[in-house]
Amino acid sequence: MEKIASIISVGNEILKGRTVNTNFAHIGRILTFAGYRVQRGYVCEDTTEGISETFREAVKHSEIVVSSGGLGPTFDDITVDSVARAFSLKMVKNDHITTILRNHYSSLNLPLTPEREKMAYLPEGAGYIENPVGIAPGVVVNVGSCRIILLPGVPTEMEALMGLAKDQYLYGGVYCEKSVIIENMMESTIAPVITAIMKKHDGAVYIKTHPLNSENILPKIEVEVSSYGSERIDCAELVTTAISEILKAAESLKGRHDDATTL
């Protein structure tokens, strides 16, 4: 059975359009290639009510929920506390993280202020991932059958911690993906072919077309074929077979494909 994932982005700056949400794309690709089907994505404001409500909703539908944003020392970095409130968990200070924070700020001749120390508080029973490139740790909370992974919003920190989270916590199954580029082919021309091939494989492969040019100039599309499963060899064979069927049909429709454009 497929494992379902959701992604939550926390931050007023995203909702205002001030910050481009590149974190979502990175997390989505990591989850996908770890074998999870990402079905839902959320963006919420920096309020306790908004964050708590969003996490409660996401957990209903997911085996894994990954969020970015709101783990730092400022007044509106409230993701960890809001998740604790959402699931009626007490916040407790982690001694190991406190020591890391104290040593870090001491090396800078700075005190461990309440704002800095708050990054050491975790929901009761939560795990953590030490931050190799920043200060705020990642936080791991299990709620029933769902695992929640909270990551910082700073892209370099999020990427580093997501890599560690992938190695420690993520395995949803097998995912294979391959793309081909076909020239002289309109999306509308190949659409019935795509539908027929997906139906033939009974939903075991997903085929998505991406127009690369306007149909009014030089029709050119990228065709992406993907499959989820439990065995890599089976997924790879399904994808390869579907690609061959697409290219054969495209050739009969006067489409052009160069082997070098297989992605």
Contact 41, 6 (CB under 8 A): yes
127: domain CATH number? Answer: 3.40.980.10
Whether 129 contacts 157, CB under 8 Å: no
CA torsion, points 55, 56, 60, 66, in degrees to nearest 10?
10
Write down the pLDDT at residue 233: 81
CB atoms within 10 A of CB 248: 10
- pLDDT of amino acid 231: 83
Query: Domain boundary residue among 169, 197, 214?
Result: 169
H and E: helices and strands count for the chain: 9, 11
145 plus 19 within the same structural domain: yes
Residue 262's pLDDT is: 52
Residues 44 and 149 in one domain: yes
- pLDDT for residue 1 is more than 80: no
Q: List, for residues 57-108, the tens digit of each pLDDT value.
A: 999 999 999 999 999 999 999 999 999 999 999 999 999 999 999 999 999 9
Per-chain mean pLDDT for the chain: 94
Same domain, residue pair 125 and 29: yes
CA-wise closest residue to 138 among 118, 152, 125, 156: 152
pLDDT of residue 263 exceeding 60: no
Task: State residue 248's pLDDT score.
Answer: 94
Region 157-181 average pLDDT? 95
CB 149 within 8 A of CB 8: no
pLDDT at residue 260 is higher than 90: no
Confidence of residue 261 (pLDDT cuts 50, 70, 90): low
Number of domains the chain is built from: 2
* pLDDT of residue 163 exceeding 90: yes
Q: What percent of the chain has pLDDT over 70?
A: 97
State the Cα–Cα distance between residues 166 and 147, nearest whole angstrom. 13
112-152 confidence digits (pLDDT tens): 999 999 999 999 999 999 999 999 999 999 999 999 999 99
Q: Which of 127, 147, 169 is the last residue of a domain?
A: 169
Over residues 182-186, mean pLDDT? 92
User: What would the mean pLDDT of 197-211 be, rounded to a whole number?
Assistant: 94
Residues 187 and 163 in one domain: no
Q: From the CA atom positions of the chain, what is the Rg in Å? A: 22
Owning domain of residue 234: 174-261
Across the range 9-30, mean pLDDT stands at 98
161 & 238 share domain:
no
89/164 same-domain check: yes
Query: Which pLDDT band holds residue 207 (cuts at 50, 70, 90)?
Result: very high
Regarding whether 84 and 201 lie in a shared domain, the answer is no
Question: Model pTM?
Answer: 0.90
